[in-house]
Chains A and B, each alone.
Chain A
């Protein structure tokens, strides 16, 4: 099994551009989340989903959109990139978050110039 797959691994955007970070999991996990990691700030939750068709906001949702049309995929959309969105983005999934925790992808390093 591939686990959680994120693409691309690296991306440079110009301010104002839009793009979609892809996330796919092949473990039939219901729960999926997006986090961003910035130096000294740990991992902060952007959006999460508890199943296909159900999403909700996390701690830092502004400037990002998500959708969950299938169990496998949970893309993160940057609507109009800003330098403050320069970060490393992680997608994670879980079968039962309390008892198994989240399985993370290897991340997308995004730079907005």
Chain B
């Protein structure tokens, strides 16, 4: 089946640093979603992207829909301790339409105060 590969798998950063992570696929996607999961909770939607090249921000978070439509990027500026969690990219399975969403393996972020 389709797979979304996220990198890095995990990262430790100092508070105040900027963070970058990405998500890649072997297939073309028409939607990219970025979620954050806090410990013990379900994922929460952060940003949705619908067009190649689109750049969308949500506070200190900025995500981009790659121009090849096979990748997406998430940046967090000036990280703070509450940014800790797992960040997932997701998109509708290209072979199955919009109902089946597949998720990446996640990037685990740890912020050192």
| Interface residues, chain A, with chain B CB atoms under 8 Å away | 4, 31, 33, 35, 40-45, 48, 50, 56, 58-59, 90, 92, 97-107
Contact B41 A59 (CB under 8 A): no
- Note all chain B residues with C-beta closer than 8 A to A59: 1, 102
B residues 42-59 near A (Cβ < 8 Å) are 42-45, 48, 50
| Size class of the B contact interface (CB-based, 8 Å) | 20 to 34
Residues of B with C-beta under 8 A to A105: 42
B63 at the interface (CB under 8 A from A): no
| Given A90-B42, A98-B31, A101-B45, A42:B99 Cβ within 8 A | no
Q: Is B65 an interface residue (CB 8 A)?
A: no
Of A40, A42, A107, the residue contacting B42 (CB under 8 A) is A107
Q: Are A45 and B42 in contact (CB under 8 A)?
A: no
Residue of chain B at shortest CB distance from A31? B99
Query: Is there an interface contact between A42 and B106, defined as CB atoms closer than 8 Å?
Result: yes
Q: Are B98 and A98 in contact (CB under 8 A)?
A: yes
A42 and B101 contact, Cβ closer than 8 Å, known pairs A92-B42, A106-B42: no
Taking CB atoms, residues of chain B closer than 8 Å to A106 are 40-42
